[in-house]
Amino acid sequence: MSFDIDLTLRRGNRTIAARIASHARLVALFGPSGAGKTSVLDMVAGLVRPDAGRIAVGGALLFDSAQAVNLPPERRACGYVFQDLRLFPHRSVAQNLRYGERLAPPERRFMGLDEVAGFLGIGHLLDRRPRSLSGGEAQRVAIGRALLAGPRFLLLDEPVSSLDAARREEILAVIARIRDELGLPILYVTHDERELARLGAEVVAIGG
């Protein structure tokens, strides 16, 4: 699967631009805070409309300003793990995971709840609420919810930025397994060069 992205977004007196043409399974958007990396993910997900450009993933056209194509988020088949995770605090881990499962049409589902829980090592957490989880545990749940949505690709926004060194390594290992064992292409935001080295990512510089 390939990322074929060329987009522009004007925000006040600055312009956010990204050009990505890659067959790599993990592409990292790298740059300083405030450079517009999250805005690029939001445009790929369909949450923000670019002013101009084109977004295609795996040959599927998601947005093209010249052809007036702009698929809604629910038709883009992407799994988005936000920097703030956005778990439902009043729902158990199992209920958070099943929310992702309900978003997936049957033909796109490739993992069930038990399989995802086993893959991520969170089976013992299913009855707990998000507020009782460590940062690494909560990140695994957010990733699990995204996987259960049956994505064709993943968007990960600074997924280890708030974790200590040990938990950071655990989540980076999970991301590498998703890339290698599940074969899901990943668009990954970071401003930390250590993550790029650990994951062997193809790097696209944003801003700076």
pLDDT value at 13 more than 90? no
Of the CA atoms within 13 Å of residue 45, those in its CB half-sphere come to 21
Q: SS3 for 60?
A: strand
Better pLDDT: 109 or 186: 186
Domains, the chain, in order of start with CATH, read 24-48+72-205 (3.40.50.300)
Alpha-carbon distance 134 to 151, whole Å? 25
**DSSP track, 174-193:** HHHHIIIII---EEEEES-H
pLDDT tens profile 54-81: 999 988 999 999 999 999 998 999 999 9
Burial class of residue 12, CB neighbours in 10 A (0-12, 13-18, 19+): exposed
Alpha-carbon distance 104 to 93, whole Å? 18
> Average pLDDT, stretch 120-129?
95
- Residues contacting 139, CB < 8 A, separation 6+: 81, 85, 159, 160, 163, 167, 171
pLDDT tens profile 30-51: 988 888 999 999 999 999 999 9
Alpha-carbon distance 99 to 110, whole Å? 15
pLDDT value at 208 more than 80? no
What is the b/e burial string over 60-73, where b = at least 16 CB atoms within 10 angstroms of the residue's CB?
A: eebbbbeeeeeeee
pLDDT value at 94 more than 80? yes
